Structure 1
Amino acid sequence: MSNFSFIIIKQSGSARAGLINTPHGSIETPAFIFCATKGAIKVADTERLDDAGTQIILANTYHLMLQPGEDTIAQLGGLHKMMGWNKPMLTDSGGYQIFSLGHGSVSEEIKGIRSKQRTLLTINEDGAVFRSYINGKTYCLTPEKSIQIQQKLGADLILVLDECTPFHVSKEYTKQSMRMSHKWATRSLQEFEKSKQGKQVLYGISQGGVYKDLRKESCEFINNAPFFGQAIGGSLGKDKKQMYEVVAYNMEYLRQDRPTHLLGIGSIVDIFHAINLGIDTFDCVHPTRLARHGGALIKPNNRSSQCKEHINLRNKQFELDNNPIEDDCSCFTCRKHSRAYLHYLLKARELLAYTLITYHNIFFINKLMQSIRQAILDNRLNQEKSNWI
């Protein structure tokens, strides 16, 4: 791990500003990781990501193993070279896809929605067997296979394979699933140790659903294994209150000398809450997915009383609005284009609309994280929060 290190520069309460050093550069934490799921941020190129201050992006093992395949990516020089991205990268293990293949998304599950297609065939201690959504071919994803794929992809930070425990199942199922994930994590570690070359580090993942005793057991397992970092995964509850409680359980028990990643969280209010608990990094599709639905993130001083964290530029109220998304934003979109123009592009279904709003949202989140880091250094995080929420 000589090419990697994690340093806590300043702690303010439980919130902390730190530095994750990798072969592809350093990540100032807290940091947001944007999701380039299939090896691309939808409608945004890597140069624009860099210009917007992005430090690190995430790609998805499951999707990339199906297309174009890890061997193809390896022959092209790995994800960094293929994508033209020279900064740090993280790959997830495919564990969340096992969850969604069998149970749907978290929101679908909580709302009781059942989508038509379920491609997960079986899951047991050996691994997960599923059909490709692309061509119907059958695949088996094991802990060993997940690590092998991620080594070929070449991301700096990689994750163990786990089962993202469903929300609606019993505590007994959750316990069995968690312990299976621990066995998978051990096998992931063993496979990782076989051929590590100092170019990657491995994160363990805490499971245990919404149950405090199971989360404690899982954290103790993670703490005693030689991981570089740790992530909080699985079901985090049915609402924000329960989610905050589950994250707090984990932060009570997890080691404090490792970088801690929270999987799948991306709203502004959730980011502040988690940082106050000691979380270092986040990933979520929310900012970029929101942009593709016409949603532009804005600060409180640019919001109406009805608006929460974003405005919907599809709304007719913006048809003749010559103001930028935010007057005080220096991103390319806000410097060059009006809300009215973006409204028109959305109505005309011009793809440029999605690119411009995506760029703004990425720039916005990166500015948010920069402001939070500085506020931690200055011991004024609670005051900074009022500028964003």
Structure 2
Amino acid sequence: MSETSFTLHGTDGAARTGVIRTPRGEIRTPAFMPVGTAATVKAMLPESVRETGADVLLGNTYHLMLRPGAERVARLGGLHRFMNWDRPILTDSGGFQVMSLAGLRKLTEEGVTFRSHVDGSKHMLSPERSMEIQRLLGSDIVMAFDECPALPAERERVASSMRLSMRWAQRSRDAFGDRPGHMLFGIQQGGLDRELREESAEALRGIGFDGYAVGGLAVGEGQAAMFDCLDFAPGMLPEDKPRYLMGVGKPDDVVGAVKRGIDMMDCVLPTRSGRTGQAFTRRGVVNIKNARHADDPRPLDEHCACPACTGYSRAYLHHVYRSHEMISGMLLSWHNLQYFQDIMEGMRGAIAAGRFGEWEAAFHAGRAEGDIPPL
């Protein structure tokens, strides 16, 4: 099979469940994508990531173009072979990282000139170059190149940025060309403004993409504002294509986004939190560094099937974190990724059964209980 497709299997309110088919395998939606910034999900082996239930990973164009370089990855057989992950990969366009990480950047109609945060070397990223890099990496889902202003921002700044992104979206589409088996997603911008979001969606629909992202959220606006925007933004995008919310988020962000019609998400939170001793559980967040866990023989989460919960006690996890042992970040990252994938699996089943509201109420009730009492 060389083609790609998206099939909706069920809806419950605005929440949707379905499957994205690619030559490298199916992506069950709603899907959470672990982030493999530099061709690795930090502290995890690819087969372990797969064991948690992940169907697709995210790779970062910006980081990979700087190190080890897209041309080098291509010479070594492409990103899938390079990082030993044979399932779908989505690559972002690099736009967000250029805005947030690069030094001395200069934005023009052509693209962005910037200095690498790694070694200060000078680079140019344009829609055409972003498409070329993502082609060299060999990703299955390619993101259009866009600009993303941090919020809050003046309406005029958001509007001009969105219109520039729409011109870049057309150039991305033209440069992507015809690549059977690969998908190109456009990115809706417009901040929190309903009219600007509609203008952006109209431009993207006119160009035509294989999927559509809601961009420019989770950049400092807060959950309430993000949810307000998601109450209308996803519905402006074609119903028969996947909808991707970029860079989200905490467990309740993920559930709230799916409730509002989002099919795909990604976030560094599960692994970043795991490395800092923070675990997400069905009863809320547990800080394993706290002294209360030092003598606790119980598992982190008795309902979780990950190795951290089935093989180790809270006391052990507390000890290895305090001792700065590498296994600490490995076990907690695995647990957090497992928890996020368990949430996605729960939502897929609940939407298919028409019981999403019931599932969501139980999810929030469990987290509101708080952690098990200390011994």
Fold match by TM threshold 0.5? yes
Aligned to 1:293: 276
Say whether residues 1:153 and 2:128 are aligned partners: no
Partner letter of residue 335 of structure 1? T
Aligned to 2:122: 138
Partner letter of residue 373 of structure 1? R
Aligned to 1:121: 105
Residue 2 (structure 1) shift: 5.4
Partner letter of residue 158 of structure 1? V
Task: Give the whole-Å Cα distance in 2 for the aligned partners of 1:369 and 1:168.
Answer: 30
TM-score (norm 2): 0.94
Runs of 4+ residues deviating >3 angstroms: none
Aligned to 1:369: 344
- For 1:9-29, what per-residue CA distance to the aligned partner results, in whole angstroms no more than 9, with x for missing partners? 111111111010001100110
Task: Give the whole-Å Cα distance in 1 for the aligned partners of 2:16 and 2:202.
Answer: 22
Task: Give the whole-Å Cα distance in 2 for the aligned partners of 1:335 and 1:235.
Answer: 36
Aligned to 2:190: 208
Alignment of structure 1 residues 16-35 onto 2, 5 Å:
16-35=16-35
Aligned pairs, number: 363
Task: Give the whole-Å Cα distance in 1 for the aligned partners of 2:184 and 2:223.
Answer: 29
The one of 140, 147, 163 aligned to 2:147: 163
Is residue 268–residue 388 contact of structure 1 (8 Å, CA) maintained in 2?
no
Residue 387 (structure 1) shift: 3.3
Aligned to 1:282: 265
Aligned to 2:312: 337
Task: Give the whole-Å Cα distance in 2 for the aligned partners of 1:239 and 1:326.
Answer: 28
Is residue 301–residue 309 contact of structure 2 (8 Å, CA) maintained in 1?
yes
Residue 251 (structure 1) shift: 1.8
Is residue 144–residue 191 contact of structure 1 (8 Å, CA) maintained in 2?
yes
Task: Give the whole-Å Cα distance in 2 for the aligned partners of 1:72 and 1:263.
Answer: 27
Residue 252 (structure 1) shift: 2.9
Aligned to 2:300: 325
Is residue 99–residue 164 contact of structure 1 (8 Å, CA) maintained in 2?
yes
Residue 238 (structure 1) shift: 2.1
Is residue 73–residue 137 contact of structure 2 (8 Å, CA) maintained in 1?
yes
Aligned to 2:228: 245
Residue 235 (structure 1) shift: 4.0
Bigger mean CA offset, 350-359 vs 270-279:
270-279
Partner letter of residue 359 of structure 2? E
Residue 388 (structure 1) shift: 2.3
Is residue 2–residue 23 contact of structure 2 (8 Å, CA) maintained in 1?
no
Is residue 375–residue 384 contact of structure 1 (8 Å, CA) maintained in 2?
yes
- For 1:202-247, what per-residue CA distance to the aligned partner results, in whole angstroms no more than 9, with x for missing partners? 0000001111110110011112222000001114562211111112
Task: Give the whole-Å Cα distance in 1 for the aligned partners of 2:2 and 2:233.
Answer: 28
Task: For residue 382 of structure 1, give the secondary structure of its aligned residue in structure 2.
Answer: helix
TM-score (norm 1): 0.91
Task: For residue 6 of structure 1, give the secondary structure of its aligned residue in structure 2.
Answer: strand
Task: For residue 282 of structure 1, give the secondary structure of its aligned residue in structure 2.
Answer: strand
The one of 168, 173, 194 aligned to 2:157: 173
Is residue 22–residue 140 contact of structure 2 (8 Å, CA) maintained in 1?
yes
Task: For residue 72 of structure 2, give the secondary structure of its aligned residue in structure 1.
Answer: helix
Task: For residue 16 of structure 1, give the secondary structure of its aligned residue in structure 2.
Answer: strand
Aligned to 1:347: 322
Task: Give the whole-Å Cα distance in 1 for the aligned partners of 2:7 and 2:80.
Answer: 25
Is residue 185–residue 213 contact of structure 2 (8 Å, CA) maintained in 1?
yes
Task: For residue 207 of structure 2, give the secondary structure of its aligned residue in structure 1.
Answer: coil
Aligned to 1:39: 39
Is residue 165–residue 235 contact of structure 1 (8 Å, CA) maintained in 2?
no
- For 1:296-326, what per-residue CA distance to the aligned partner results, in whole angstroms no more than 9, with x for missing partners? 11103xxxxxxxx310000000000111111
Residue 289 (structure 1) shift: 0.9
Say whether residues 1:233 and 2:215 are aligned partners: yes
Residue 386 (structure 1) shift: 3.0
Task: Give the whole-Å Cα distance in 2 for the aligned partners of 1:260 and 1:311.
Answer: 31
The CA RMSD measured in Å over matched residues stands at: 1.3
Task: For residue 345 of structure 1, give the secondary structure of its aligned residue in structure 2.
Answer: helix
Is residue 321–residue 340 contact of structure 1 (8 Å, CA) maintained in 2?
yes
Aligned to 2:206: 224
Aligned to 2:368: none
Task: For residue 374 of structure 1, give the secondary structure of its aligned residue in structure 2.
Answer: helix
Aligned to 1:384: 359
Alignment of structure 1 residues 81-92 onto 2, 5 Å:
81-92=81-92
Aligned to 2:75: 75
Aligned to 1:111: none
Is residue 164–residue 235 contact of structure 1 (8 Å, CA) maintained in 2?
no
Aligned to 1:49: 49
Residue 52 (structure 1) shift: 1.6
Is residue 52–residue 362 contact of structure 1 (8 Å, CA) maintained in 2?
yes
Residue 121 (structure 1) shift: 2.3
Task: Give the whole-Å Cα distance in 1 for the aligned partners of 2:2 and 2:361.
Answer: 40
Is residue 214–residue 234 contact of structure 2 (8 Å, CA) maintained in 1?
no
- For 1:118-137, what per-residue CA distance to the aligned partner results, in whole angstroms no more than 9, with x for missing partners? 60420011100111112111
Aligned to 1:99: 99
Task: Give the whole-Å Cα distance in 2 for the aligned partners of 1:339 and 1:41.
Answer: 24
The one of 259, 267, 287 aligned to 1:312: 287
Task: Give the whole-Å Cα distance in 2 for the aligned partners of 1:54 and 1:2.
Answer: 22
Structure 1: gaps spanning 5 or more residues: 102-117, 301-308
Residue 334 (structure 1) shift: 0.9
| Identical aligned residues as a percent | 38
Alignment of structure 1 residues 249-264 onto 2, 5 Å:
249-264=232-247
